[in-house]
């Protein structure tokens, strides 16, 4: 998957619904590209991850409540007591195995109205349905 996004046809491009610079998700026929803003020790930087569909073990595209401290929770469940809600959004969560002995989780927040479309695209490319509750209960 190319880094510049110009040589492949993007089927979906979405950004964090409330902080557009925080993350971007791009879906193509070959996989998903995550561009994620990170902060560590007073430094801010962007990390890019290219996920090939063949590396994906399972996934979930769901509606979530964004909460303080970079937490989220499914919108159709009561929030845990220590979660302070901010706003609703969508989320694509992917559990993958890029090598035989490595497991990796990656996710991006997207506009809530894009959740179904992103789930449909992932299912089309993977040839299997999502695993409900994976993002918050199976990890």
Any domain includes 100:
yes
Any domain includes 2:
no
Strand order in the sheet with 12-15: 12-15, 23-27, 31-40, 43-52
pLDDT band at 40, cuts 50/70/90? confident
Q: What's the total number of domains in the chain?
A: 1
pTM over 0.85: yes
Do 35 and 48 meet the contact criterion of CB atoms below 8 Å apart? yes
Any domain includes 6:
no
Q: What's the N-to-C CA distance of the chain in angstroms?
A: 27
CA atoms of 40 and 43, how far apart (whole Å) = 5
In the predicted model, is pLDDT for residue 7 greater than 70?
A: no
Q: Tell me the range of 8-12, 95-99, 100-104, 110-114 where mean pLDDT is highest.
A: 110-114
Mean pLDDT of the chain: 90
pLDDT band at 138, cuts 50/70/90? low
CATH number, position 63: 2.30.29
Between 19 and 85, the more confident residue is 85
pLDDT tens-digit series, residues 55-95: 999 999 999 999 998 899 999 999 999 999 999 999 999 99
Average pLDDT of 127-135? 91
Q: Which domain holds residue 37?
A: 12-137
């Amino acid at each position: 998957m190319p880094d510049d996004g110009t040589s492949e046809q993007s089927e979906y491009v979405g950004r964090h619904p409330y902080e557009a610079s925080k993350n971007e998700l791009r879906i193509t026929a070959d996989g998903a590209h995550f561009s994620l803003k990170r902060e560590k020790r007073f430094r801010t930087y962007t990390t890019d991850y290219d996920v090939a569909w063949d590396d994906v073990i399972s996934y979930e595209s769901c509606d979530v409540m964004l909460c303080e401290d970079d937490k989220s929770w499914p919108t159709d469940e009561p929030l845990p007591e220590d979660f302070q809600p901010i706003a609703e959004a969508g989320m694509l969560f992917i559990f993958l195995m890029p090598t035989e002995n490595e497991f990796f989780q990656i996710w991006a927040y997207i506009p809530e109205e894009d959740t179904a479309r992103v789930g449909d695209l992932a299912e089309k490319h993977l040839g299997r349905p999502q695993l409900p509750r994976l993002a918050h209960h199976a990890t």
